[in-house]
Each structure stands twice: as C-alpha cells, then as structure tokens.
Amino acid sequence: MRTGYREFARMLAKHLKRNFGEDLAGPRLGMHKRAGSSTSERCKPVPTYVAMLRGINVSGQKIIKMQNLRDSFEALGFRRVRTYLQSGNVIFETVNASSKNLSKRIEEKISSEFGFSVPLVLRTSSEMTQIVDDNSFLNEKGTDDSKLHVTFLSALPPKGALKRLEGLNALPDRFFIKGREVYLYCPDGYGRTKLSNNTLEKLLSLEATTRNWRTVSALATNSSEKNRQELDDA
C-alpha cells in the first residue's frame, strides 16, 4: 500500500510538471491514523486551508526553500502539508482553529525560523472553490485567462477605502471586488497595471497578496475535497 501510494505521488508530480510546468511538492500527503482514535474521528473531514505568503523568493529577498517551509508547517502540527510553486503557497489540514489564530501562529513560526516577517493570507478550500466560481470575467467572450489575477485581502475593505479604489482610473485594466478578493483583468499584462499589489494595499489600507489565475485555479483544485479523496484512495 505504501509503495503504491509513493508511486502514485511520483506519477502525479511528474504529470503536473509535464503538463503545467509547475510542481506540487510535499512528501507527506497521506492521512495518518492516530492510535486509539475511533472510526468516527478518523472519518471526520479535516478542514483544508491554503496559505499564500507575500513577497518571498523575489529578487533574492526573503529566501525560503519549500522543503524548509513545509517542515515549519508540520512542526506546528499541521497535516498533509504540501507546497505549490516557489512563491509561498501552502496547502495543509488542521482542526479546531480559527483563520485569525492560524495566520498569527504561522507568521510567528516563520519569523522565528527564518529571521524575517512574512505577511500571509489564509483561505479555506471551500473559499478557494467559491473564488474561482465568482470570477465573472470568465463569462465574457474573448477573455484571455492569462491576463486574469486575483488580489487576496487580509480583511474586508472599509467603505471609505472602496470609494478611493473605485475612483481610480486604471484603464485599460478592469477590476471588481467581491468579499475579500479583488479580481483583475489586465490586457496589457500585470507588469504594466496601475492595480499592483502595493497600490491596492495603500488604497485599501490592508495587507494583500496577488496570484495569477493559473495559480488560483491550481490551488483551488489541489485543496479540494475531491483531490483529498483521490489521494486517500491511492
């Protein structure tokens, strides 16, 4: 069983890299049963979270190896820890914790382990699925999804800040806000947008981190319950 699982994990990683040019890494995807735990406890769904770190491994600054990052998350007692790309996207499972407390624990752990602070945004797997479903840009004819991005906010933006953002002339780029996400469509590329992560943080007075649509979709898929069940069945 163990050998079969390892072979499946190896083939899955190879498939993702060949088809998407990206890695989904994490050697400890299996669900570990605790000795003495009841059947109902083992079968109870464990919440899955996606942590998106801001500003690591960029231009030689705040370098964190993904294996070290996974080790730090596992040291906090999180399960099924895996990373996606080198930009600091971590999928993990844990029970009995609020998102606010989780974020604080992770930020404190990173600061103590690596010697610098890293803001992060946390979403549940169900929230990630909803974020993908809510992107109305995809319903427009001719939308190039390579020009789509999502900026994840640390909290709901205050009304006054929203008015400042709505008054910004960002053409040809377009955006809309739903909950704690800012959906962006940048036809000339994100590198030329007036809606950069730094700009949105200043206008909204919130911490934020931005991911392209390919990454958002992959994180939603890889953190989903369906993906979890497929790994369990391997």
Mean pLDDT, to the nearest integer, of 41-63? Answer: 88
Q: Is the pLDDT of residue 164 over 50?
A: yes
Q: Which pLDDT band holds residue 6 (cuts at 50, 70, 90)?
A: low
Q: Measure the CA–CA gap between 38 and 220, rounded to whole angstroms.
A: 30
- On the question of a cis peptide bond just before residue 172, with omega within 30 degrees of 0, the verdict is yes
How high is the pLDDT of residue 4?
A: 55
* Global confidence as pTM: 0.80
3-state SS, residue 90: strand
Q: Which tokens belong to 100?
A: 């606010």
Whole-number pLDDT of residue 33: 42
CATH number for 2-125+225-233: choose from 3.30.70.1280, 3.20.20.140, 3.30.420.40, 3.10.20.310.
Answer: 3.30.70.1280
Q: Higher confidence at residue 22 or residue 233? A: 233
Give yes or no on whether 2-125+225-233 and 130-217 have one common fold. yes
Mean pLDDT of all residues belonging to the chain: 86
When pLDDT is cut at 50, 70 and 90, the band that residue 24 belongs to is low
Half-sphere exposure of 92 (CA within 13 A, CB side): 26
pLDDT digits (tens, 9 = 90+) for 100-116: 899 999 999 999 999 99
Write 139-145 long-range contacts (CB < 8 A, 24+): 143/185, 144/187, 145/213, 145/214
> What's the CA gap between 137 and 176, in Å, rounded?
9
| Cβ atoms 30, 5 nearer than 8 A | yes
CATH match of 130-217 with 3.10.450: no
Instruction: Give the residue extent of every domain in the chain.
Output: 2-125+225-233, 130-217
pLDDT tens, position by position, 118-155: 999 999 999 999 999 999 999 999 999 999 999 999 99
Among positive and negative, which fits the CA dihedral 164, 122, 91, 178?
Answer: negative
